[in-house]
């Protein structure tokens, strides 16, 4: 009886006025020995059961790599020597993070909604145990370093949003990706508020020779070390033999 009442209540609930329908150009990314980066096309549409509500709609797309802890240190000059003076332990920071929007972010997303859904790069970096007053500057330092290497990206006005229904964008993945599950989130906003969210995962994994070397290094470290040493010795011997022949 209780299950029947719960089912009737669910059926009686109104359907979403607007709902995101998503597509991806690829379901996974393979990292090979010659991997030099990749692009993922994210596209979709807004499904509506009624005319669109009042207010301008916007699309925000984020792609996040696996979280990882980071220790950030600040150097200061003391007695003519640069030394570490402050340190902040960042509990979790995405190894990769990209944001693409159909309009300027501050125009389509309220600050309270940003904090709630953790959309902009500063909101996804969590610092704990900070022993300095300006710990926020350490989070900004992580962003600057990773932006320079292409791991953090911010692309405003990069989502094509046609007639408030169809949307598409491309996210560039650099060569220095971390293996793991990547999370793609699509937000539909109106008047700065999030109306609907769609979330999916994109596996990024090493394959072929890259996977074999990774497994060998982590599961058979001694064998991997001996093989590396043998290759180094062989390379040194080969170079020496070539120089000897050239001198004759």
Q: Report residue 147's pLDDT band, with 50, 70 and 90 as the boundaries.
A: confident
Instruction: Please determine, for residue 44, whether its predicted confidence score (pLDDT) is greater than 50.
Output: yes
Comparing 24-38, 66-80, 89-103, 190-204, the range with the smallest average pLDDT is 24-38
pLDDT tens per residue across span 80-123: 666 555 666 777 889 999 999 999 999 999 999 999 999 998 88
pLDDT score at 189: 94
Q: How confident is the model at residue 185 (pLDDT cuts 50, 70, 90)?
A: very high
- Is residue 69 scored above 50 in pLDDT? yes
Mean pLDDT value across the chain:
76
> What pLDDT, on the 0 to 100 scale, is given for residue 48?
83
**Most confident of the following: 20-29, 47-56, 159-168:** 159-168
Domain range annotation of the chain: 12-206, 207-248
**pLDDT for res 33:** 57
Contact yes or no for 203/29 (Cβ under 8 A):
yes
Give the residue, 2 or 49, on which the prediction is more confident. 49
Given the structure tokens 């962003």, which residue do they identify?
143
CATH number belonging to domain 12-206? 2.60.40.3880
In three-state form (DSSP H/G/I as H, E/B as E, the rest C), the secondary structure along the chain is CHHHHHHHHHHHCCCCCEEEEEEECCCCEEECCCCCCEEEEEEEEEEECCCCCCCCEEEEEEEECCEEEEEEEEEEEECCEEEEEEEEEEEEEECCEEEEECCCHHHHCCHHHHHHHCCCHHHHCEEECCCCCCHHHHHHHHHHHHHHCCCEEEECCCCEEECCCEEEEEEEECCCCCCEEEEEEEEEEECCEEEEEEEEEEEEEECHHHHHHHHHHHHCHHHHHHHHHHHHHHHHHHHHHHHHHHHC
Statement: residue 55 has pLDDT above 80: no
- pLDDT bracket for residue 30 (50, 70, 90): low
In the structure, what pLDDT confidence band is assigned to residue 68 with cuts at 50, 70 and 90? confident
């Amino acid at each position: 009886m209780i299950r029947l009442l719960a089912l009737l209540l669910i059926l009686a609930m109104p359907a979403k006025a607007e709902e995101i329908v998503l597509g991806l150009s690829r379901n996974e990314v393979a990292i090979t020995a010659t991997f030099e980066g990749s692009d993922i096309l994210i596209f979709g549409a807004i499904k509506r059961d009624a005319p669109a509500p009042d207010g301008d709609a916007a699309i925000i797309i984020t792609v996040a790599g696996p979280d990882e802890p980071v220790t950030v240190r600040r150097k200061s000059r003391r007695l003519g020597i640069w030394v570490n003076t402050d340190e902040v332990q960042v509990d979790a920071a995405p190894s990769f993070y990209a944001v693409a929007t159909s309009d300027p972010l501050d125009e389509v997303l309220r600050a309270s909604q940003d904090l709630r859904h953790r959309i902009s790069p500063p909101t996804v970096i969590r610092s704990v145990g900070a022993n300095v007053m300006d710990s926020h500057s350490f989070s900004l330092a992580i962003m600057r370093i990773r932006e320079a290497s292409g791991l953090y990206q911010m692309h405003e006005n990069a989502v094509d949003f046609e007639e408030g229904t169809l949307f598409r964008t491309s996210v560039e993945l650099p060569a220095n990706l971390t293996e793991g599950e990547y999370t793609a989130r699509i937000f539909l906003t109106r008047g700065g508020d999030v109306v609907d969210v769609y979330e999916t995962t994109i596996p990024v994994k090493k394959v072929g020779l890259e996977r074999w070397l990774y497994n060998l290094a982590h599961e058979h470290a001694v064998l991997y070390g001996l093989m590396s040493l043998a290759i180094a010795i062989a390379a040194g011997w080969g170079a020496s033999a070539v120089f000897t022949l050239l001198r004759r």
